[in-house]
């Protein structure tokens, strides 16, 4: 890990995230929402910083709410989406709009997502989730389960999951 990445982790007080990388929640709305599809009340929205060091990735996972990524600094972020119908979508988040990157990308509720810095280096993004994130709504399927469900995407799944220990 380079010095700039280590400094960001320390300065932003980031902690390890179960999916990979480092994060810190920066906002949790005091407003509560009821009557959600999964039945549990949630904050109206939440926001985090999320940093992936060079060579790290966020493993495939899904959350029960819509998630908006905001690219802040560092290398572009390749955000991989696997939709329920088997379709793969790649969003490139970054500052080089002329090359197809976008500073923002949306992951719809329930869609599997994984990401990694593109071209080396680290990526610092923000993630805003509405209704708000709760670890009770976080699902990280095993590599084996994903391979069985999406065999056409075996190379991507193998690259963006961790082997069972």
CA distance 74 to 5: 9
Q: Give the CATH number, domain containing residue 66.
A: 2.60.120.10
Residue 164 domain-assigned? no
- Tens digit of each residue's pLDDT (9 = 90 or more) over 110-134: 999 999 999 889 999 999 999 999 9
Percentage of residues in the chain with pLDDT exceeding 90?
Answer: 85
Residue 25 domain-assigned? yes
Residue 40 domain-assigned? no
165 pLDDT tier (thresholds 50, 70, 90): low
pLDDT value of residue 91: 97
The predicted model scores a pTM of 0.93
Count of structural domains within the chain: 1
Residue 165 domain-assigned? no
Residue 116 domain-assigned? yes
Residue 12 domain-assigned? yes
Identify which of 145, 147, 139 has the alpha carbon closest to the alpha carbon of residue 113.
Answer: 139
- Tens digit of each residue's pLDDT (9 = 90 or more) over 31-51: 998 877 777 889 999 999 999
Residue 22 domain-assigned? yes
| Cβ atoms of 19 and 67 closer than 8 Å | no
Identify which of 24, 18, 43, 23 has the alpha carbon closest to the alpha carbon of residue 33.
Answer: 43
Residue 74 domain-assigned? yes
Give the residue-averaged pLDDT of 74-99: 96
Q: Residue 94 is part of which domain span?
A: 3-34+47-159
């Amino acid at each position: 890990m380079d010095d700039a990445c280590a400094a960001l982790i320390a300065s932003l007080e980031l902690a390890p995230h179960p999916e990979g990388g480092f994060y810190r929640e920066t906002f949790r709305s005091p407003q509560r929402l009821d009557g959600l599809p999964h039945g549990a009340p949630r904050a109206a929205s939440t926001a985090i910083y999320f940093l992936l060091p060079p060579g790290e990735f966020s493993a495939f996972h899904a959350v029960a709410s819509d998630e908006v990524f905001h690219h802040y600094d560092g290398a572009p972020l390749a955000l991989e989406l696997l939709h329920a119908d088997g379709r793969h979508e790649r969003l490139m988040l970054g500052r080089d709009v002329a090359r197809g990157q976008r500073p923002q990308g949306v992951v719809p509720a329930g869609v599997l997502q994984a990401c990694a810095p593109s071209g080396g280096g680290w990526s610092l993004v923000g993630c805003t989730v509405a209704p708000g994130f709760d670890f009770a709504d976080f699902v990280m399927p095993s590599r084996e389960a994903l391979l069985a469900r999406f065999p056409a995407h075996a190379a991507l799944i193998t690259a963006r999951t961790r082997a069972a220990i």
